[in-house]
Amino acid sequence: MSASTPQPHPSNQPDNPVELQLRRMTRRSFTAGAIAAAGGLAGLGWLKTRAPIDGLEWPLRRTLEWNERLAQAYFRSTRRAPSFPMSAARTPRPNGAVGLGNGFDPKTWSLRVATPNDRRLPKIGLDAIKTLPRVEMVTELKCIEGWSERVYWAGARLADFVQKFRLMELSNPFKYATLSTPDDAYYVGLDIESALHAQTLLCYEMNGEPLTSEHGAPLRLVIPLKYGIKNIKRIGTIRFTNERPADYCAERGYDWYAGH
C-alpha cells in the first residue's frame, strides 16, 4: 500500500465542476464537524430526530454522538484520489460477477445493516439512501488485473450514511466495516478510516444512469483509494465490527488493504 499523495492532475483545478462541488461539500462537512466538536453535538437537530426507516424503528442507541476518532477520519482525511473532468468518463467493462447470480429481484431489495450488538438487522431502502447528500465524482476504477477506467459516479457517502443512521458510538467506535452481496458470495472488509473516507460512496448511478445489474445494481461501493476488488457490486449487507473481517480477494492472495 502506498501512502504517497496522488500527483496533482489538471482536472483538480477550480474550473472542474465536479471537483468544485466536492470541495464545497468538504468545506461544509468540515464546518459541521467544527461546530459539532465545539458544541459537543448537543445542538444538532438531526440527533433528536428518530424517524422510522421504511417503517422500522431504529434500535435504541446508548450514545448518539459522532466520536472524535471518526470525526478525525471523516473530516481531516486529506488524501484524495485524483478526480477527472466529465469528458474523461467512460463505461468500464463489467468485471467479476461473484455474488451477482440470478434469482435476484432489485425491486424487493433493501440494504441490511448490522452492528455486533444488534438483535435484528434494520432494512434500509434505496429511497432512504437517496435522501442523503448526493455526491458526484469522476474517479478511476483501477483493476488489479492491469486496466483502469475513469467513471462518473453518483451516490451517498458511506460516512453520511453512518452518521445519519447513527451506526457508531462515541465510547466504542468500530474498527472495521464489512460489506457483502445478498447471497454472501462476495464480501469485502474495510478499515473504518477507508470506509468513512470522503470519496467512499454507496453508489447508485454510473455515468448519469442508474446502475445496471452487471455493474452492481441497485447499490455498489465506489472507493477510489482502493483497487477494483474492494468496489463491491450489489451490496446486500453492511456490518460494523471490531474483528478484522474476511475478504473474498484477500482469501485468494491479494493484499487485505488493496490500496494503491
CB 97, min distance to ligand MTE, A: 5
The entry of Mo ion, ligand MTE, none that residue 114 binds, CB within 5 to 8 Å by partner kind: none
Q: Which of 186, 204, 240, 256 binds ligand MTE (CB under 6 A)?
A: 186
- Please tell me whether residue 64 binds ligand MTE under the rule CB under 6 A: no
Contacts of 163 (CB under 8 A, 6+ apart): 46, 66, 74
Residue 38 C-alpha from the chain's centroid: 26
Measured over the CA atoms of residue 155, residue 63, residue 257 and residue 252, the dihedral's sign is negative
Nearer to Mo ion, 23 or 90 (CB): 90
Q: What is the contact mask toward ligand MTE in residues 215 to 234, using x (rule: CB under 6 A)? A: x------------xx-xxxx
Residue 12 C-alpha from the chain's centroid: 22
Nearer to ligand MTE, 50 or 93 (CB): 93
- Please tell me whether residue 143 binds Mo ion under the rule CB under 5 A: yes
Residue 150 C-alpha from the chain's centroid: 18
Q: How far apart are CA 24 and CA 31, in angstroms?
A: 11
Q: How far apart are CA 232 and CA 215, in angstroms?
A: 9
Q: What is the contact mask toward ligand MTE in residues 87 to 106, using x (rule: CB under 6 A)? A: -----xxxxxxxxx------
Helix or strand holding residue 203 (H, E): strand 201-206
Q: How far apart are CA 234 and CA 99, in angstroms?
A: 8
Using CB under 5 A, which of the segments 25-33, 133-141, 227-235, 245-253 binds Mo ion? 227-235
> 3-state SS of the chain: helix, strand, coil percent to 5?
25, 20, 50
Nearer to Mo ion, 204 or 227 (CB): 227
- Please tell me whether residue 228 binds Mo ion under the rule CB under 5 A: yes
Q: How far is CA 101 from CA 134, 183, 226, in A?
A: 29, 9, 24
Nearer to ligand MTE, 85 or 99 (CB): 99
The entry of Mo ion, ligand MTE, none that residue 25 binds, CB within 5 to 8 Å by partner kind: none
Q: Which of 110, 139, 181, 194 binds ligand MTE (CB under 6 A)?
A: 181
- Please tell me whether residue 150 binds ligand MTE under the rule CB under 6 A: no
Query: What does the binding site for ligand MTE look like in residue numbers (CB under 6 A)?
Result: 92-100, 141, 143, 181, 186, 215, 228-229, 231-234
